[in-house]
């Protein structure tokens, strides 16, 4: 029996005008909710960024200052330092997550007893809430009775206990370590899923041709997983650049502002110093940088799709 074929007439692939109106009517409730929940705060924050608004002065109309908040933000050494801290946190943490995630994925792709159990354990760090993870690592790095100091002194790596979160040169790296431990599993899972699509006979043929392990990885494995990894890379970069919660719990931006990221600076400006206007301008600068990262993400996806078609 021949199955009926659905065809759209009148407007080609775009469908009929009546169908388009029906689709928009069905989407209208969702779009309204999105505009109310997302659109209004964005517009309100944009307006505040051009004023000298004070968070506690809700009954007093904020004074309009134009671009003054943005010019002050771009010349504020503390904010520029927080942007640098965010960039350092992002580049180091995401880089380590990508490397560690790929290595773990390659290990779990091998055949060994208990592989399914180990794969199930892999997701546990990522499943732990960020606040719980931050509190756990703050206790691990405790200078008096933390497990990290105990491990290093008992193995004779250190002679005395170290204040890991109390020294400017160490604190940011310790926060990065905690973030990497939590987020590398998602990269490993994405890489592991991509590895499942690589045929085993390709590796066997390469081995017969005399290719070593590095050549097989670089010539066969990496080209097949670079697409999913690029998506994971950009998504993790966007998320890491906006980091706030783990910094707030572990260090409160200290010591000496060495771990104060851009998002933490926005929090302090808005809710500690109660300067809602300048805090909104800082927030929008972070949003604009995030939009640039999203644009890079879309460009990578488009380039990947074009490469797949060719």
182-221 burial code (b ≥16 CB/10 A, e <16): bbbbbbbbbbbebbeebeeeebeeeeeeebeeeebeeebb
pLDDT of residue 2: 45
- Do 277 and 145 reside in the same domain of the chain? yes
DSSP string, 179-225: HHHHHHHHHHHHHHHHHTTS-HHHHHHHHHTT--HHHHIIIIIHHHH
CATH number of the domain at 184, please: 1.10.3720.10
What is the rounded average pLDDT of the residues 236-244?
91
pLDDT tens, position by position, 142-177: 988 889 999 999 998 888 899 999 998 899 999 999
> Cα(278)–Cα(52) distance, rounded to whole angstroms?
7
What is the rounded average pLDDT of the residues 244-251?
94
pLDDT band at 267 (very low <50, low <70, confident <90, very high): very high
pLDDT of residue 9: 44
- Do 221 and 281 reside in the same domain of the chain? yes
As a whole number of Å, the end-to-end CA separation of the chain is 37
pLDDT exceeds cutoff 60 at 308: no
pLDDT exceeds cutoff 80 at 8: no
According to DSSP, residue 64 is labeled B
pLDDT exceeds cutoff 70 at 3: no
pLDDT band at 305 (very low <50, low <70, confident <90, very high): low
pLDDT tens, position by position, 21-53: 888 888 888 888 888 888 888 888 899 999 998
- Do 179 and 276 reside in the same domain of the chain? yes
User: How many CB atoms lie under 10 A from the CB of residue 58?
Assistant: 9
- Do 24 and 109 reside in the same domain of the chain? no
> Cα(269)–Cα(246) distance, rounded to whole angstroms?
18
pLDDT of residue 149: 92
pLDDT of residue 28: 87
- Do 165 and 16 reside in the same domain of the chain? no
User: How many CB atoms lie under 10 A from the CB of residue 35?
Assistant: 12
* Residue 56 domain-assigned (yes or no): no
* Residue 1 domain-assigned (yes or no): no
pLDDT tens, position by position, 65-108: 999 999 999 999 999 999 999 999 999 999 999 999 999 999 99
- Do 84 and 197 reside in the same domain of the chain? yes
DSSP string, 148-191: HHHHHHHTTS-SS---TTTSHHHHHHHHHHHHHHHHHHHHHHHH
The pTM assigned to this predicted structure is 0.84
Q: Which residues pair with 239 in a beta bridge?
A: none
Counting residues of the chain whose pLDDT is more than 90, the rounded percentage is: 46
Structural domain count of the chain? 2
* Residue 3 domain-assigned (yes or no): no
pLDDT exceeds cutoff 90 at 250: yes
- Do 130 and 89 reside in the same domain of the chain? yes
Does 255 sit behind a cis peptide bond, omega within 30 degrees of 0 on the bond before it? yes
- Residue 246 near residue 165, CB atoms below 8 Å: no
- Do 25 and 120 reside in the same domain of the chain? no
- Do 84 and 186 reside in the same domain of the chain? yes
What is the rounded average pLDDT of the residues 10-16?
50
Closest CA to 175 of 235, 126, 135, 144: 135
* Residue 7 domain-assigned (yes or no): no
> How far is Cα of residue 2 from the mean position of the Cα atoms in its chain?
50
- Residue 65 near residue 51, CB atoms below 8 Å: yes
Check residues 34 and 136 and name the one with the higher pLDDT.
136
- Do 228 and 166 reside in the same domain of the chain? yes
Q: What are phi and psi of 209, to 5 degrees?
A: -80, 0
* Residue 2 domain-assigned (yes or no): no
Domain of 37, in residue numbers: 12-48
HSE value, Cβ hemisphere, 13 Å, CA-based, for 4: 2
Phi and psi based region of residue 3 (left: phi greater than 0; alpha: psi -120 to 50; beta: remaining): beta
* Residue 305 domain-assigned (yes or no): yes
What is the overall mean pLDDT for the chain?
Answer: 86
- Do 21 and 86 reside in the same domain of the chain? no
pLDDT exceeds cutoff 60 at 309: no
pLDDT of residue 307: 65
* Residue 59 domain-assigned (yes or no): no
pLDDT exceeds cutoff 70 at 61: yes
* Residue 32 domain-assigned (yes or no): yes
- Do 84 and 19 reside in the same domain of the chain? no
Q: What are phi and psi of 233, to 5 degrees?
A: -60, -50
pLDDT exceeds cutoff 70 at 135: yes
Using DSSP's 3-state secondary structure scheme, residue 89 falls into helix
- Angstrom CA distances, 303 to 164, 191, 224, 231, stand at 42, 19, 15, 12
């Amino acid at each position: 029996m021949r199955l009926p074929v659905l065809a759209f007439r009148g407007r080609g692939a775009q469908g009929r005008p009546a169908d388009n109106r029906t689709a928009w009517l069905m989407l209208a409730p969702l779009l309204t909710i999105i505009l109310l929940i997302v659109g209004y705060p964005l517009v309100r924050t944009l307006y505040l960024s051009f004023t000298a608004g004070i968070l506690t002065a809700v009954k007093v109309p904020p004074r309009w200052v134009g671009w003054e908040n943005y010019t002050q933000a771009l010349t504020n050494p503390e904010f520029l330092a927080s942007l640098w801290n965010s960039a350092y946190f992002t580049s180091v943490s995401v880089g380590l997550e990508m490397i560690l995630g790929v290595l773990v994925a390659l290990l779990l792709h091998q055949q060994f007893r208990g592989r399914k159990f180990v794969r199930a354990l892999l997701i546990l760090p990522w499943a732990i809430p960020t606040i719980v993870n931050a509190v756990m690592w703050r206790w691990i790095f405790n200078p008096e009775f933390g497990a990290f100091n105990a491990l290093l002194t008992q193995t004779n790596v250190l002679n005395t206990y170290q204040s890991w979160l109390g020294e400017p040169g160490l604190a940011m790296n310790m926060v990065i370590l905690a973030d990497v431990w939590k987020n590398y599993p998602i990269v490993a899972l994405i890489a592991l899923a991509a590895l499942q699509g690589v045929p085993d006979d390709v590796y066997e043929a390469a081995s017969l041709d005399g290719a070593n392990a590095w050549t097989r990885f670089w010539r066969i494995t990496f080209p097949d997983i670079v697409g999913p990894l690029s998506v994971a890379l950009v998504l993790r970069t966007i998320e890491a650049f906006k980091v706030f919660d783990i910094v707030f719990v572990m260090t409160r931006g200290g010591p000496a502002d060495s771990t104060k990221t851009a998002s933490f600076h926005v929090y302090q400006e808005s809710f500690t110093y109660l300067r809602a206007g300048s805090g909104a301008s800082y927030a929008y600068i972070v949003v604009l940088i995030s939009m640039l990262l999203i644009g890079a993400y879309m460009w990578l996806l488009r380039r990947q799709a074009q490469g797949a078609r060719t």
